[in-house]
Structure 1
Amino acid sequence: MSTRGADRVKLAIQSEPPLPTKYPLLYDFEIKLELPAIMRDVCGRWSIDNPERYAFKYADPPPGQPGKFGYISEENRHDLKDGDILRVALSPDIAAQEHFHAMRQAGDPRIRHNAMVEIYRLSKDQTFAMKFINLNGMDALVAMIQTENHVTEQDASQMASMLGAFQELMEHALVSWSTLTQNFVNKLILMIEKSRPLEVVRSPIVAKCLSILESILLSSSDLSESVMQGIQLDDIIRFMQSPSQEVQQYALALINTMLLKAKDKQSFFKQLQEKRYGKLIQQHVYGKYINKSVPREIAHELYAYQTHSLNLVEPTMRQQFDRANPAHEQAIKMLPKRAFPDDYIDDRPRSPSAAEQHWKQLGFFNTDPRLDFNEVPPGVLALFCMIHFAKTKHDAFTHLLFSPSDNQCPFARASISLTKILCSIFKIGEPPSDLAYNFLPMLLWSDNPLEEIFCATIQLLFKTWREMRATEPDYEKVMVVVQKQIVTIVQQGSTLSSFDVFKAKLFELSYKKIISESEEKTQLLDDSVWNSKPVTELRDKLRPEIEGLVKQQRLKQLVEGALFPKISALKKSKRAYFYCRLSPNHKVLHFGDCEENARPTLDALDNKIPVSDIRLEIGRDCPHVKDPRTKGTKGQVQPELGFSVYFEGEQHLDFVTPNESIFAIWTDGLSVLCKDKLISKAATEELDTLLHMDLKLRLLDVENITIPDQPPPIPPNPPNYDFAYKLD
């Protein structure tokens, strides 16, 4: 949302199309003057009759360059800025009528083709879209898509324009997806089936068909089932080999949505495995970018697929051990057989005492090991991870159990804790974020991604246990270190091309490297020192100063600014951004439109909000989070990543952050500007870390000295002060 600018702006006005007799005007555009009056003045200068047939619109920017688009209306005229270039063009009403009639002509095919190109271009504007739809233009467009062929190259270009216009019109949410018919869906599927992956001429058609089918799956409950049943999975997977990045992107997106909507996700994922989907991604998608960065749109779809595949273990993670479940019973009985095969005859232990000893040696906490899997998460997922490790890495499994050690790490207990840590790190059960794009390549072509991660990290856990010379009381400290090791390596993202690389990097990050960081040192210090009364009082005394440092850091990052997606353009095919930053004097928020990866200066951001007027809303109370138009869509705003800044009454600027870190920075900074406290968990953690570091430095001089709980007593006053000596 923009703030109102000055009452007059200086801009250029051209004719459309540019004519030699109509010289461009440098015009003082009065914001408060009615648009028809300004149009009459401009048309009078150019001797143009019937000014009511015309309207102002932004001049098209150069190809590939950012710029404003659309007609000027009473609603958006206050967004005009000095230096804007406008054109006098046919009004949306007249343009919609002329192009509507032209696209239905049965004569010259070039007229129809040019009309469709213009409709595609103008449909991005909501005013034109509304006029065109009111003429039953959408019905006519859908009918043409269903009946037209695309044999020649010109036919293919016209079909691409029709599909593009359809997408643009649907973006305005003026027509419900439920109004589409089965015949329309069948036509889209037929165009996909008849296209070949390497057919570059028809790549725009294929990409748009894939994108529209994805939207139908997300937005139409009536037609989603027919899409799922009508599409042949082979027809989509083969587009992984397409040379077109756009086709690959939308093929990935469609498969991700099909996986999201599948009633039996396990069965659908198994079909993908049987068709070597992961290997095709490795060879033809990720393989194209070995020596360069993966485009963000592709990276997002790979991240989404990774999230969906990891989330397949969510039902197991949320399930306790069920004695009536044969799979659970079979798994719990298989574990000791894998560890002690010589002690079993016909799947039974030689003696009851041997079975009890086996459970103890395996490191279970309870006498009945089934009770160890009652905690959810990780539930019985931990059991199946242990079985996978024992079956696929049997030598490593037996090595961990039987390697000589004075204080052996309890395998079962450690496995359960580790599985819970992995579920937290990889956010099992959470849907993919619309703005995230970080993925681990090794997970994309693995049939059992979480289980394979477990196999590498359980070996790391035992290695760290030995390095720390840990005993039973050190168990939680070991888990803290192991979690830090895993998180550190996982953050390396795209460098983890295989599980062998992942394991090697894990083993390189030793326990000593981890504890060299001050944060981990403080976590491993004796709690009795930090909880003593003198240290607690010192911490309370230092807290306001450290809290001030955290607040300054938050405000400094707001001054640097950040890029945010526009809420109305969350779909990746329509991605648009604005940049927001705080003025150095902390009195004004500046924001304005910009391109991705841009970092505009303060002067380039035209819109301003006085800090004294702002009010912060977070999460589910934000209007863009509550907006029903985003519910159930791919662009749905996650409450934990959204916030809004209210100003001038009920005007609001809506934000969606790509991750929790940026969300914490901005909500903390805005809270400070609103004279409130730091509110994020990240701020609390940073404050605690800085306090620990400051205390550690201050306590260096009393290292190995016992700090008393009470201050030493003050001695009584002396009987006299004769020992005092006054110097003259």
Structure 2
Amino acid sequence: MEGLNPSDLVERLGSDEDPVRKMAAFKLQSSIGDPSFADIFISEGGLGKLRYLTLVTTGNTLAYSLTSFARLLEVDKGWEYVDEELVERIVYLIVTHPLVNILRGAMSMLVSIVSHPHNPSRLSEAGIHGFRALKPAIAKYPQFLEMLVSRLSSADHALCANALQLINSLMRDSIANDEESEWPKFIKRLQDLGVIRAVYILMQGSALQDHAHPLIEFQSLTKLLLRKWKNVAVELEKPDHRRALKGIHIASNPEMARESATADDDLRKSRRHNPEKWRRLGFYSESPAGEFYEMGFLGMMDLTDFVRKHQDEFQKMLLEQSARPAEQRCPIARASLAITSVLYEHFEVERSATDDAKNYLLLDSRSNFDKVFKPLLLHWSRIHVASLHAFFRLWKATSAEIADFDKIVELLRILVESVVGGAPRTKDVQDVEEELSAFEYQRLRELQMELLELTYEDAWGQHLRQVRDELHHEALQFVKEQRIRCLLQGAWFPNETSTKVDGPNFAKPDSKRSQAYKYVQLSHNRRYLHFGDFDSAKESVPSLDTLPNKIDLSIVSSVVSNVSASSDDSSGSTIKTLPQQASSFTKITIHGYAPSSPSGAPTMTPGHNRTGSRSTQREIALLVLRPQTHSIASEWLDGLLMILNQQPITSETSKLVNLISNYGLKIRLLNVRFDDAAFAGEPPKIPSRDGLDEDYYYDLFGGA
């Protein structure tokens, strides 16, 4: 506003020369947004001249005048010169004018007019505000809304944002102030003109920064509409509600149902009254209006939309279901209402009003766009239909019955959270529909179990982790005892076929080198490892007294093996990647410290001198074992490690420990009531034991 004289500017706006007026209007754009300047400008009589320029000029003079007037309205001044003539002029410009700079200013003015608050003033009484201020002009130029929606695909981002902002203002004012029967017609007209598809493309586009605020407002308005429809109670006294229900009934082809009746039925009675007119469609009772209580007219809209767009499939399903026992029929209507509820919760429709401010703050960072924008919400109807198809598929795949209805709904909820909730902003709705239809039931069950574990984790947190740690320790001790008992039981191991002996400490006469097998067994006091060589593996195991050699475990320094070294499996497995000829390659070597005796040979029995320093002792191979199977390799390698108070390293032992600890956790959780945690809904009924005898078993490793 530096050096700009309001009086001089007003005088120039009234000039007869267009270049003078154009320059004055151009300078006015940058200053009129200052309330103090605006007050002086109005007091000098500038407002009347600005209105005149808006009504009669063209080109850049008109563009600058519109922008100036729009900025004046934004500071809540100049309303006394806003009348039907001015509004009609602006609507006319939007419908007929091709210049972007004129359209921007015109749309900005209409946004201010439509959004102008309803104050108890003369202007409010005159109705020059809100959507109704535009209705006379729109009646004169009915192509206005079509042109407005077409601007959403404009290459000019500012014009596109202005158009969407104006659409938002019209929608919000219509929802808030129109009669109950009027605003749905306006919303439907916008949808028929393609506003949903246009906004969906913008929301998935790369120019979100320029459109962010009007887009998030449109998304909030979409949730507002869903809430509004949900809060409309279904009443048969209302003609449109009655027509919707009648349309659902007619689409079900009731004549076909009568024709499929058996010969024993009274067909005449069937023609007069079908006792299952509505239950046949999947309602609880013959009074369907009451079943829309939770989801209101929104639930009826979703069901009607499915029936209308997939009438042939609807009729075919009803015919198929009629051939099944009543308890096995899929309740289509109830499924539709349940899915509406699932989607309503998934998109957090009720929370939108309180989240608006937070969403606007998140828009400051481009990295938050995927968190804020949910373009799939705009395709509510398509997602509902795709989810309903998925429900039918799950019902068939699980051979569900009516008693399983809530379980299928819960599976469907997980499916929606996984597919719809996990879809990135740019993922097309058709790809989401295909993924919903192709999602495998087994994978869905796995997700359900993971979510159940997370639910328990959230409910008990630290206590559950403590239980897991205790059970893991108990399982480790249990497996340790099992592995050591394998050593106590003893086992046969093949010797090398070459002339190489087990180690320098076990040099044998040549006559012994051809002996093919070695028998090894842990002593009962678990202090010594006894072994001996034999020509063959005998069915009857030798007694400890007959085994000529033994190793004092207190002198064992380490147990090494190629069992773990030979594995390259990414999961950390130490056995399963060994070659099939495991007996030829698997090798367990027991090393120990033994001081040299006067004869130069080490002593392996407790009689040796243990007073020598370990630094002066030599580490030698005391014994070499060659397990013939992976299981034996795991038992003996980990058994030797664990008896030496070291951690097991093979995958078989780790799996066994985890299996036992997990089953222990599940068994403990069976003793916890379902409602001890923060679960939604009612807890399940405790099953009855009537008719249960003792003729059952449970396979720990294979399931029930």
Deviations 1:80-123 (A, max 9, x none): xxxxxxxxx54xxx64344344444446x544433332222233
More divergent stretch after superposition (306-315 vs 96-105)? 306-315
Q: Map 1:8-27 to 2 at 5 A.
A: none
Give the Å deviation of 1:393. 1.2
Instruction: Determine the structure 1 residue equivalent to 2:336.
Output: 415
Deviations 1:600-636 (A, max 9, x none): xxxxxxxxxxxxxxxxxxxxxxxxxxxxxxxxxxxxx
Matched to 2:332, the amino acid is F
How has the CA–CA distance of structure 1 residues 493 and 296 changed in structure 2, closer, same or farther, with 3 Å as cutoff?
farther
Give the Å deviation of 1:468. 5.4
Paired with 1:453 and 1:326, the residues of 2 have a C-alpha distance of: 28
SS of the residue corresponding to residue 97 of structure 2 reads coil
Give the Å deviation of 1:176. 5.6
Matched to 1:159, the amino acid is L
Instruction: Determine the structure 2 residue equivalent to 1:386.
Output: 303
Matched to 1:168, the amino acid is R
Contact 2:281 2:333 in 1 (8 A): yes
Instruction: Determine the structure 1 residue equivalent to 2:136.
Output: 229
User: Is 1:538 matched up with 2:463?
Assistant: yes
Paired with 1:441 and 1:305, the residues of 2 have a C-alpha distance of: 11
Deviations 1:673-702 (A, max 9, x none): xxxxxxxxxxxxxxxxxxxxxxx9997643
How has the CA–CA distance of structure 1 residues 257 and 473 changed in structure 2, closer, same or farther, with 3 Å as cutoff?
same
Q: Map 1:286-297 to 2 at 5 A.
A: 292-297=205-210
Instruction: Determine the structure 2 residue equivalent to 1:116.
Output: 25
Q: Map 1:508-527 to 2 at 5 A.
A: 508-514=438-444, 516-517=446-447, 521-522=451-452
- Residue among 219, 242, 260 paired with 2:116: 219
Give the Å deviation of 1:206. 1.2
User: Is 1:485 matched up with 2:395?
Assistant: no
Instruction: Determine the structure 2 residue equivalent to 1:703.
Output: 666
TM-score scaled by length of structure 2: 0.51
Instruction: Determine the structure 2 residue equivalent to 1:245.
Output: 157
Contact 1:515 1:521 in 2 (8 A): no
Paired with 2:82 and 2:458, the residues of 1 have a C-alpha distance of: 66
Contact 2:15 2:21 in 1 (8 A): yes
> Which structure would you say has the larger Rg?
2
How has the CA–CA distance of structure 1 residues 709 and 521 changed in structure 2, closer, same or farther, with 3 Å as cutoff?
closer
Paired with 1:325 and 1:115, the residues of 2 have a C-alpha distance of: 58
Instruction: Determine the structure 2 residue equivalent to 1:199.
Output: none
Instruction: Determine the structure 2 residue equivalent to 1:259.
Output: 171
Percent identity between matched residues is 19
Instruction: Determine the structure 2 residue equivalent to 1:22.
Output: none
When the two structures are aligned, how many residues end up with a matched partner?
Answer: 437
Instruction: Determine the structure 1 residue equivalent to 2:269.
Output: 351
How has the CA–CA distance of structure 1 residues 706 and 238 changed in structure 2, closer, same or farther, with 3 Å as cutoff?
closer
Instruction: Determine the structure 2 residue equivalent to 1:365.
Output: 284
Paired with 1:334 and 1:238, the residues of 2 have a C-alpha distance of: 33
Contact 1:210 1:251 in 2 (8 A): yes
Paired with 1:454 and 1:378, the residues of 2 have a C-alpha distance of: 14
Give the Å deviation of 1:485. 2.6
SS of the residue corresponding to residue 295 of structure 2 reads coil
Give the Å deviation of 1:541. 9.5
Contact 1:464 1:510 in 2 (8 A): no
User: Is 1:165 matched up with 2:63?
Assistant: no
User: Is 1:186 matched up with 2:88?
Assistant: yes
Uncovered stretches (5+) of structure 2, i.e. residues with no partner: 118-123, 260-265, 364-368, 468-658, 674-704
Give the Å deviation of 1:236. 4.6
How has the CA–CA distance of structure 1 residues 112 and 698 changed in structure 2, closer, same or farther, with 3 Å as cutoff?
farther
SS of the residue corresponding to residue 355 of structure 1 reads coil
Matched to 1:538, the amino acid is H
Matched to 1:502, the amino acid is V
- Residue among 342, 353, 375 paired with 2:256: 342
How has the CA–CA distance of structure 1 residues 484 and 229 changed in structure 2, closer, same or farther, with 3 Å as cutoff?
farther
How has the CA–CA distance of structure 1 residues 101 and 310 changed in structure 2, closer, same or farther, with 3 Å as cutoff?
same
Paired with 2:165 and 2:407, the residues of 1 have a C-alpha distance of: 42
User: Is 1:268 matched up with 2:268?
Assistant: no
Instruction: Determine the structure 1 residue equivalent to 2:431.
Output: 501
Paired with 2:343 and 2:71, the residues of 1 have a C-alpha distance of: 42
Q: What is the alpha-carbon root mean square deviation over aligned residues?
A: 4.7
Deviations 1:120-160 (A, max 9, x none): 2233445544444443433442333234x11xxxxx22322
Q: Map 1:433-472 to 2 at 5 A.
A: 433=356, 435=360, 450-467=380-397, 470-472=400-402
SS of the residue corresponding to residue 159 of structure 2 reads helix
Contact 2:347 2:377 in 1 (8 A): no
How has the CA–CA distance of structure 1 residues 299 and 465 changed in structure 2, closer, same or farther, with 3 Å as cutoff?
farther
Contact 1:178 1:223 in 2 (8 A): no
SS of the residue corresponding to residue 223 of structure 1 reads coil
How has the CA–CA distance of structure 1 residues 129 and 523 changed in structure 2, closer, same or farther, with 3 Å as cutoff?
farther
- Residue among 81, 88, 107 paired with 1:210: 107
Contact 1:286 1:294 in 2 (8 A): no
SS of the residue corresponding to residue 296 of structure 2 reads coil
Contact 2:10 2:45 in 1 (8 A): no
SS of the residue corresponding to residue 356 of structure 1 reads coil
Matched to 1:396, the amino acid is E
Paired with 2:80 and 2:661, the residues of 1 have a C-alpha distance of: 67
Paired with 1:191 and 1:698, the residues of 2 have a C-alpha distance of: 75
Deviations 1:194-225 (A, max 9, x none): 413xxxxx311111101201210110642132
Give the Å deviation of 1:324. 3.8
Give the Å deviation of 1:504. 0.5
Q: Map 1:273-288 to 2 at 5 A.
A: 276-278=193-195, 282=198
How has the CA–CA distance of structure 1 residues 513 and 319 changed in structure 2, closer, same or farther, with 3 Å as cutoff?
same
Paired with 2:348 and 2:668, the residues of 1 have a C-alpha distance of: 43
Contact 2:203 2:373 in 1 (8 A): no
Paired with 1:391 and 1:162, the residues of 2 have a C-alpha distance of: 50
Paired with 1:459 and 1:294, the residues of 2 have a C-alpha distance of: 34
Matched to 2:406, the amino acid is E
Deviations 1:626-673 (A, max 9, x none): xxxxxxxxxxxxxxxxxxxxxxxxxxxxxxxxxxxxxxxxxxxxxxxx
